Structure 1
Amino acid sequence: MIKHTSFDHSGGFYFYRLHNWKTDQLTNGFPKLKNFLHSMFEDCPHDYFHSGPRGSALKFSLHDVDMHQTTGHEVSQLTIDGLEENSERYKTAHSKVQVFMLEHDDKTLAVEVPIWLKANELKNYSNIFNSKEPLTGHIDVLRMEGDNIWVWDYKPNAKKEKYASTQVFFYALMMSKRTGIPLDHFRCGYFDSAYSFIFKPEMEMLKMPELGKFLDR
């Protein structure tokens, strides 16, 4: 039911796991998403992940994010349950939460999903990232809720995060580019056991003051 593999990428080993049945059942409206998720076991471009910019290391803010902070979200409860149930099964908090969600949450499709964005896929890419190499990352938790694809990142101290919204925005953009699914179908969030922060990603969010001199050219 759950297919898994490990990727030796920059930053350590990433354990990509996919729930086959849920993926096949919940992605009926998005066949390109299903195909992409299955293809990563054989066709992940590993060379992209050994150098270049990483989504988790981005240190700039987005512009006009309509952020919603909530308590009691189901992903927070799943975090509580996962940390407890898998307390002795896995060493890292991420694995405890991710595997629990994959096994017990009916909306979670995959964890540690490899994604990337090439320089020719975003205007002013080399100025934004100071590189022409692909931007890469791994989505902590990918969920389906109705017609929306949710990109989630687990942050043990979510309320203190400064740039997590930037990270998940680019994760959603990367997945949009990889699958050809419009960004309008994506939602972003990051969470811990107490709080969740959610928003709808939009390209206008890239017009932040820090990058204005590049994006306005």
Structure 2
Amino acid sequence: MGVIEDREYFYTWRTRQETDPLWNWILKEGILLATHFEAHFPDDPDLGQGREAFSRLPGVTEEPWEGMEGAIKIRGEMSPDARSLFLAIAGGGDVRLWDFILFEGERKLLAVDDFSDRFVTGYFARKFMKKLFDHWFEPIPEGPAEGDLQVEAMSHDEARDVLNAVRDVVQTALRDLERDREPAWPEHRADVEGDRINGQRH
């Protein structure tokens, strides 16, 4: 399968919680959209989690992976069994995948490296954002056509999930901002008081 090259974007948001509701929703969308996958499994009990389960999937191929000595790559179609396995892992199961890539046809969608380094492609980002946009906005009837990028309409459950995810992310961000800001206020006030006593002004 030849892969069409596309610009990639590093996911920079990090929560202080164990779970990241926004990334979980992005990953779920990628799993549902994907037609193929590639997963890498080192010869290590921690980094190689899920190796046996993926090896048992129907129609997959295994071969050495050039990225690490002793590691293998498992490739296959996103069959119902494969999709169920990915969704179970994304939902917080016992298995954590160390390194994998999801594809739609010849297009790379997203990738995870070293458990927590996350990347999405411009192609996936456009489809993802268009799905959100189509749910939250309606085109003006007399406006020009937008093009041929097709995405399925968002279901009620999907809309609820993304709204909950965005809400959780915003609430976490606000809490983090407050926590980061609080220690600075007493320090700043002490500096101001000292400058005032010494006849200095900010």
Determine if the TM-score, normalized by the shorter chain, exceeds 0.5.
Answer: no
Higher strand share: 1
Pair member with larger Rg: 2
Under TM normalisation by the shorter chain, which class is it?
Answer: under 0.3
